[in-house]
Chain A
């Protein structure tokens, strides 16, 4: 019997579970939790016989080309599913833990505000998880990847009425998206390397891979390093590590399952999945190993000095993932998989029982107290010991570092260009755009010296638009407009780059336009009702009074950022595939503006709808609680 068709079951179950749980009413606790654990349980108990049968068959690699989401003469967007031992292990661990945690949360979350939101987000995460591990090519994988990022944001910002969870949710979301630049660039480069949307199945064909890579070793290495960037961000390796402990803002079970185990091991997954692509390049392998090693050492040091329990577990987990990177780099796939499973189980459980540590350790100390146990650090020279200690307490300044090298410059740049306003937008940028369109149809009049740079220039303008939106502090509607305009510039840029079909542009804009329109209407309604509490300078928490607007705006943000709920998502990929392989800068600029557009959108959503409510006719939390 061919098992291949059955693998779609494991996508379908979470998908159906998620949609059912969306329509269940608030307050139906029993239903909501039952749907969640039935989904994970069904998945698990259908998977077990499947697994046995699959092993009996000799554990073949399965590949199912589901359907083509879009097809044209030179381009196909395939949804492709894939199953091998990596998928098997990830599926097993994921469904066991999700099953257990959903049952656990059924009681633990009882009477908590947001019971529905919690289970919806867990199921969304579960969907993204399964989608990703089953994905058979980069495009499919990226869909799952995006879902993971969104559900992560929702779970961290679960206590949306407080400041820190919302701020940290944005922080994590942003770092995830920085990692996504890696995936987008890798997708772009591999389009050109293989001249198609390569499936992971084909990557198993070592001869083919060998032939291609050795011919284009630079491109191969570029892809590998971009994947490493994505993997390091998702798995909280250096220099991104500081997001993981900060993600633990939601209810303990969600921190346990998501950040203790499932989500944080996706970097390892990505490396395992793309192993055939880079394993022949010794420099890549060394780099992965070294990154893992340094991360493991630094994270261990930080974990050792942590005075609170959840971050301690988080850093300990990062250290183990660092070791997994080394294992993968060495080619010990099986060991890495076992290590992943053990670490996921261990950290989930440790996080779940973390409240017990207070009574457990105190009681232990009553009987076995040692004032100052000798530790390995005592053998260091005093000055070194103290320096390492202080650095570790400060988390090696990692949190500041990321801000300093990525977000602060972008924000500053955004603020520097705040001379762009609604007036000169119409006086200068609109005509410039129209000129661009005119030139597009009359390419002959463009001077030859300029033509090659035009698409870069437009791409840069699109990035400026999005940075301007990112830096905007006062006018939400203006920021929204800038995010939208960014996409128009992108379309223009890519059209200059290559003969880009008009229908492609339309596909790209098909989701973005309606989403931006709906978002604009929402902003208008909100601006009218809350004229004095309407800016981007602080958090307003309007979700408290306008829950429906809040959801609607979140959806339009997703649409505007090209989240895989509209065709625009395919458009993004189409655009990337039309950037020439030599045009690295253009690909980079465009990826960056996609990514930053998403961050700017989510930031708008958070500022307007999340955070401490501006109106204080009810109890309000301290900013630092």
Chain B
């Protein structure tokens, strides 16, 4: 029989797999919240995770019915889906979906075993154990809240505990038995489990129950076990030691409670299987959910596909004669690009992951640490260094630790205290930039220098800068992947992006995901420097890419919260281009105001009824307001990722819901560049999309809930109040306007090429095979759609009514704060 015996390492591995894997706040990166279930089909995974862990994984039936009543879920689409899935039983199922009552109560297997303590023995170990456990682990991992740090944290967690216990008069425990075990290091997880649980077949499930009573802390420990060095003040900890400590505390509690005679726990657990993951029964309710969910998603996708088909005949004027601009694929650039194009008929914009193929670390001037500025899974070998940055960090005495000391606090409250109230008033009545603002413009000094070219040096064990060949490789791959290999404009912009916010613990989640949650300024500037390098140009020419000598690259950064832009190395621009750049700059700035206005419609307390410049000012103001829990809405409402030429979608109003990666099938007949794009984009955009999805449908367990009561724990995470577990996922304020739909990837290429490409990367293929992302291919020749399902492409014909066309969206934007349907943009 399975699970008869307990294999510690196997169980620990399994635990770490299922626990939330969210890094410390400063390294926050979006990922699929239910990554552990990704080997299952999407809907199957959603049912399993719900039945096992008690997650809410779909909207409620009443929500879907409401959406249906509001025509957000189309009747046509619903019928089509039911017909495909249920054939003749369509009416029966439609009745189930629309009318029947279901018991939607969440049931969870997790916790059932350990609940026996409460139900059968009238004790609640968690109540006693958690409080001390959280305090100790919090103090150990603390990155700089406490003034008096835990002693000896250079040692491993378990050794620190032993050190403290041995050398102190005070103890973590009540019983001398537990005390002795720690001091003499005479316990193991197995020995403690045998005392507490008694039967090997239950061990693993017991540990799951125990750790999932505080998934936040356990998940953090599991992550830091492998990334302890990512903390500035690094720590050595393992899930194993953490669990051992918790078991020891639990043992101590039970031992004391029952005067040394811990009852035989296993005797009351005879009916409980040791396998938490044993088979899950079919549920009609979950089938209803899955049908509704498909209908919800396709009601939107179908419109998009209809739009692509409908706009097919419209021709574009964007030949890229005036300038070209590369921006991040980020959905926040979707509308920005639209406005740039609207304001300059001859420009051309491109989308590419915002690290611009610069796989590197960054060493800011004066900084004691370097930081990764490329996608998280990449392990860079290079480092770029900043020099001559004269900016100083603004300070704020309110964060001084002195105010928490006895006499210091006395002095501070008698002096600074009165300044606080003035500052608070200023912050409320006249918000402006201050020391608390996290601004992406501060990531790199605007006038500092970057060391990009390698000259034999190394730094922190990495090669400082790139050689000419390495530079050429990077820019060549970038240009080819977006299809920009000829017809270069006089100026080519590379615009990274970053955000700024104040009083926001999840600040890192707002910057560029492709740059490991940092702003993309260094990358944009670096790729521009590479592109302008004469030797690189020469090499590029050897490889068949001829960039005219007069063409210049300019790096820049789009600040997405305040909608501002900054350009780098402008003084180095040739005089004949200065005027040209100045003109373009005006276009960018104007586009930013229009963009700000479009964004503002979702900010319910910001009035959108004014000219773009006025609204833009309001948007800027809210970004620095202490009392604004939604500085920007980040990726909320994302639903699409379009990999193809801009022409495919430039006549569609996609309402900022699309990631856009430029790609030209013509120069990539065998899908070499497509593979790179999909390999990078699929997990990144899928991760973003699913994190939004799950945080939205279950703000309590999969999301971080409302951020208003959050309390910063050790600079690594947030919890509610003082005694809560760490909260993972996204705060509700980030996701409340998000429609929980999966992402649809739309690729412009021949289906057989795409099929070959996705099958060649197993990790990527899993996303589509198990339908965690939808995939539709637009055949470049026939303009037919092919939907990927169960390993093959099936033709798909949109069934929506023809879409409405509009040329002016101003009135539309002022009209509503909810999602818009897809429109055709008339020139």
Q: Which residues of A contact B (CB under 8 A)?
A: 96-97, 100, 103-112, 158-159, 162, 164-165, 168, 245-246, 248-253, 255, 296-297, 300-301, 303-313, 315-316, 319-320, 323, 338-339, 341-350, 352-369, 371-372, 375, 377, 382-383, 385-387, 389-395, 399, 615-625
Contacts and interface: CB of A to CB of B under 8 A. Distances in A.
Contacts of A312: 145-146, 404
B406 A300 contact: yes
A164 B626 contact: no
Nearest to B436: A356
B700 A308 contact: no
A390 B172 contact: yes
Contact of A252 (B233, B628, B709): B709
Q: Which 10 A-B pairs have the closest CB atoms?
A: A342-B417, A386-B168, A307-B142, A346-B417, A251-B708, A349-B420, A619-B56, A621-B700, A316-B404, A390-B170
A344 B725 CA distance: 29
Nearest to B711: A310
B550 to A, nearest CB: 40
B505 interface: yes
26 contacts: A96-B421, A107-B605, A108-B628, A112-B708, A158-B709, A165-B721, A248-B709, A251-B708, A303-B404, A305-B146, A310-B712, A319-B409, A320-B413, A344-B417, A349-B421, A353-B503, A357-B712, A367-B366, A367-B368, A368-B368, A375-B148, A386-B163, A616-B105, A617-B106, A621-B701, A625-B725
Interface string B51-94: 00010100010000000000000000000000000000000000
B504 A355 contact: yes
B717 to A, nearest CB: 9
A73 to B, nearest CB: 50
Nearest to B233: A371
B157 to A, nearest CB: 14
Contact of A357 (B131, B412, B715): B715
Interface stretch (B253-261, B392-400, B586-594): B392-400
A401 to B, nearest CB: 13
A359 B438 contact: yes
Contact of B626 (A104, A248, A616): A104
A366 B369 contact: yes
Contacts of A104: 428, 626-627
Nearest to B172: A390
A391 B215 CA distance: 27
A304 B145 CA distance: 9
B414 interface: yes
Interface stretch (B133-141, B745-753, B767-775): B133-141
A358 B135 contact: no
B146 A622 contact: no
A202 to B, nearest CB: 33
Contacts of B130: 624
Interface centre among B107, B143, B420 (most CB of A within 10 A): B420
Contact of A393 (B107, B139, B712, B736): B139
Among B26, B170, B604, the one with the most A-chain Cβ atoms within 10 Å of its Cβ is: B170
B724 interface: yes
Contacts of A390: 164, 168, 170-172
Contacts of A245: 722
Interface string B390-432: 0001001011000111100110111111101101110010000
Contacts of B725: 622, 624-625
Nearest to B134: A624
B167 A394 contact: no
A358 B25 contact: yes
A342 B700 contact: no
A308 to B, nearest CB: 5
Contacts of A320: 409-410, 413
Given A107-B628, A311-B722, A625 B736 contact: no
Contacts of A346: 398, 403, 412-413, 416-417, 420
A199 to B, nearest CB: 32
Contacts of B144: 361-362, 365
Contacts of B733: 111
Given A110-B629, A347-B413, A359-B438, 10 more contacts: A309-B145, A310-B711, A339-B414, A341-B418, A365-B232, A372-B149, A389-B168, A622-B215, A623-B213, A624-B126
B150 interface: yes
A245 B405 CA distance: 17
B712 A358 contact: yes
Contacts of B135: 307, 393-395
A249 B724 CA distance: 10
Nearest to B137: A307
A393 B143 CA distance: 16
Contact of A350 (B132, B214, B403, B721): B403
B459 interface: no
A159 B420 CA distance: 28
Contact of A307 (B145, B163, B215, B412): B145
A308 B145 contact: yes
A366 B368 contact: yes
Nearest to A256: B424
Contacts of A339: 410, 413-414
Nearest to A248: B721
A48 to B, nearest CB: 14
B398 to A, nearest CB: 6
A345 B410 contact: no
Contact of B503 (A356, A387, A622): A356
Contacts of B656: none
A316 B407 CA distance: 11
Given A367-B366, A625-B705, A358 B26 contact: yes
Contacts of B742: none
A342 B413 contact: yes
- Name the residue among A310, A365, A625 with the largest chain B CB count within 10 angstroms: A625
Nearest to A163: B724
A366 B168 contact: no
Interface string B624-636: 0111110000000
B719 interface: yes
A360 B435 contact: yes
B145 A387 contact: no
Contacts of A617: 60, 103-106
Interface in B12-38: 25-26
A308 B714 contact: yes
A386 B414 contact: no
A361 B413 contact: no
Contacts of A311: 711, 722
A248 B705 contact: no
B430 to A, nearest CB: 12
Interface in B144-164: 144-151, 163-164
Contacts of B428: 100, 103-104
B727 interface: yes
A377 B405 CA distance: 12
A313 B404 contact: yes
Nearest to A360: B399
B827 interface: no
B423 A349 contact: yes
Contacts of B25: 358, 362
Contacts of A106: 627
A341 B438 contact: no
A610 to B, nearest CB: 15
Nearest to B214: A624
Interface string B254-291: 00000000000000000000000000000000000000
Most buried by B among A96, A158, A316, A395: A316
A308 B399 contact: no
B698 interface: yes
A607 to B, nearest CB: 15
B178 interface: no
B713 interface: yes
Contacts of B396: 360
Contact of A354 (B105, B393, B711): B711
A297 B151 CA distance: 20
Contacts of A624: 126, 130, 213-214, 723-725
